[in-house]
Structure 1
């Protein structure tokens, strides 16, 4: 099931609201007729009971009007003119309005879904919307990716509601199933981020994604344990991030070199101080040393390989190189969720 971002009140809630209003309107007319029951005449001429008042209110508001109960006194007729007739019109408006809104909402949802399917391309699929998945989505948005180009695949209902409330398109189901990933248009995706809760699920998701894309879509997977990282790479992941090992290294650095932790946190926190960035080398920079570039370059990416500045290959910048540098992030506004 595909969940589009929440845009307005759901049809079920709107239907419930109108149903309550209709019942309240019927009860109001029953109360008004019952107070003036002596001004009405029925075919049995034995007076109106409370059930007769309910019967009269329902057939009058629904415009059926069998005529077996009629107002005879001037006061009862005045009540019909001032109360029953306007209530009858309002009752019809409630019924017709409910039908039209439900049909309109269904049409609007179908139209939005078809438009979303037609325009979905070069998007990022995030499998799992737990702590890692939410952090990945935040990082994508902070780096300028439109929320409309992010598709979340999540089986948990609570996480589905959270992602939908965050303005994301969510496909409810397991990312280990081919049909779910095909609904996410994985073949047209730019990348797949696998952030499931277990390494076993990550391996299955990776295998399924690789089978559907034949390795043409970049797959980034998160692993809890370092020993599972090679298995994920063999399964088809282009890059594996080991959460437990990374956290362990940071914990170790916090005891031996505490300031390094502050630097790492600064680099990973958007909008505060320093931030890692990547850009293509300009034509004017080709042939120069990376150390002579205006920004603080810390590495080069050449033919998909990350080269340290200490490497002899990094003596000069070549055509097609990507520069990994540190930028001042305080002057760059952080992209807010759309």
Structure 2
């Protein structure tokens, strides 16, 4: 009953973000894009302006018989270029007009570039903002329609950042990692690493839906407090019943709450760090080895693989790999347990691999 009441309270706080138009989500969801330097943007705008000027000049020249100047002469190519220039720059023509070719050439070569530069400064920022929002809205719409089997990280503090780095080091594409957080600084760090970001509270089911948590293969809960972790886990399990949820917890007493909320596995951050600190006093090399095993992109690392057909029926202790345990029916069994003396089809091996050899 209490769990049901908590879910109903969470629903009342939902803001129906997933039902909003895509353009309204550009400040909430950020899809990484290739950075473009300001100089390149300005050069690109100038090139576009010159192309438009050339096109207008060509059109005026092809239809020059329909144009007359104030002197009644036929239009030359220079006259057509001048007409295109004053037309595209919204200057117009009237009581003050250059009459000699030299004056018109000066207007084209000097006045017009200054006028174009003025227009870039005046409306360039507004145009760029509108086009950036349009591109971002398109990327969000395309991403939401395609994203599947990705990983959602709720909380991008020290734990979340380290978890993302470990995933990338284990050959997970940054675009397949979505970070959910409320801190703009943390989200900016995540975007700089090429990760997709969603700004909002992970306890809000609509925020998790924006991160497509319902289609994720794994959800990592790395919040700063155990109570937030319980609420996030409860919400995530409700909208993603098939996802694997891994939650970080500070206190052992709260571990069972996360299990009841739907977490598949939990990590005791405070106690694990305390054990390593204690080991470092007497056996610092053990801590170094543990750090090496937890770093997937260098040295040794802990990995998991499926048993090959040739290994079925054999003992995991007789394999070339250093096997630490066997995962059977979703349950981890120690390698020295009699239950796994003979490997079966479908078993998975937890073993130590060399990252350098794999690379």
1:3 equivalenced with 2:3 (yes/no): no
Change (3 A) 1:152 1:79: same
Q: In the alignment, which residue of structure 1 is the partner of 2:326?
A: 300
Q: What secondary structure is seen at the aligned counterpart in 2 of 1:330?
A: helix
In the alignment, is the contact (CA less than 8 A) between 1:226 and 1:244 conserved in 2? no
Q: Post-superposition shift, 1:105?
A: 2.9
Q: Post-superposition shift, 1:258?
A: 3.1
Q: What secondary structure is seen at the aligned counterpart in 2 of 1:276?
A: strand
In the alignment, is the contact (CA less than 8 A) between 1:63 and 1:88 conserved in 2? no
Q: What secondary structure is seen at the aligned counterpart in 1 of 2:356?
A: coil
1:264 equivalenced with 2:290 (yes/no): yes
Q: Post-superposition shift, 1:91?
A: 4.3
Instruction: Work out which of the residue numbers 254, 259, 272 in structure 2 matches 1:233.
Output: 259
In the alignment, is the contact (CA less than 8 A) between 1:62 and 1:92 conserved in 2? no
In the alignment, is the contact (CA less than 8 A) between 1:6 and 1:165 conserved in 2? no
C-alpha distance in structure 1 between counterparts of 2:35 and 2:335, whole Å = 53
Question: Which whole-Å deviations, capped at 9, do the CAs of 1:233-260 have from their partners, x for residues lacking one?
Answer: 1111111101001011112222343332
Question: Which whole-Å deviations, capped at 9, do the CAs of 1:155-194 have from their partners, x for residues lacking one?
Answer: 0011111111111110001111011001111111101000
Question: Which whole-Å deviations, capped at 9, do the CAs of 1:94-149 have from their partners, x for residues lacking one?
Answer: 66766664454333222211211111000100001111001111111111111111
Q: What secondary structure is seen at the aligned counterpart in 1 of 2:357?
A: coil
In the alignment, is the contact (CA less than 8 A) between 1:271 and 1:332 conserved in 2? no
What 5-or-longer segments of structure 2 have no aligned partner? Answer: 1-27, 46-88
Change (3 A) 1:251 1:92: closer
TM-score, length-normalised on structure 1? 0.75
1:218 equivalenced with 2:244 (yes/no): yes
1:63 equivalenced with 2:91 (yes/no): yes
Q: What secondary structure is seen at the aligned counterpart in 2 of 1:324?
A: strand
In the alignment, is the contact (CA less than 8 A) between 2:217 and 2:242 conserved in 1? no
Change (3 A) 1:3 1:10: farther
Question: Which whole-Å deviations, capped at 9, do the CAs of 1:266-312 have from their partners, x for residues lacking one?
Answer: 21123433211110000110000111212111211101111112211
1:176 equivalenced with 2:203 (yes/no): yes
In the alignment, is the contact (CA less than 8 A) between 2:169 and 2:296 conserved in 1? yes
In the alignment, is the contact (CA less than 8 A) between 1:300 and 1:309 conserved in 2? yes
Q: What secondary structure is seen at the aligned counterpart in 1 of 2:186?
A: helix
Q: In the alignment, which residue of structure 1 is the partner of 2:64?
A: none
Within-5 A mapping of 1:122-137: 122-137=149-164
In the alignment, is the contact (CA less than 8 A) between 2:174 and 2:193 conserved in 1? no
Within-5 A mapping of 1:58-207: 62-63=90-91, 67=95, 83-88=110-115, 91=118, 101-207=128-234
TM-score, length-normalised on structure 2? 0.71
C-alpha distance in structure 1 between counterparts of 2:287 and 2:117, whole Å = 66
Change (3 A) 1:326 1:82: closer
Q: In the alignment, which residue of structure 2 is the partner of 1:43?
A: none
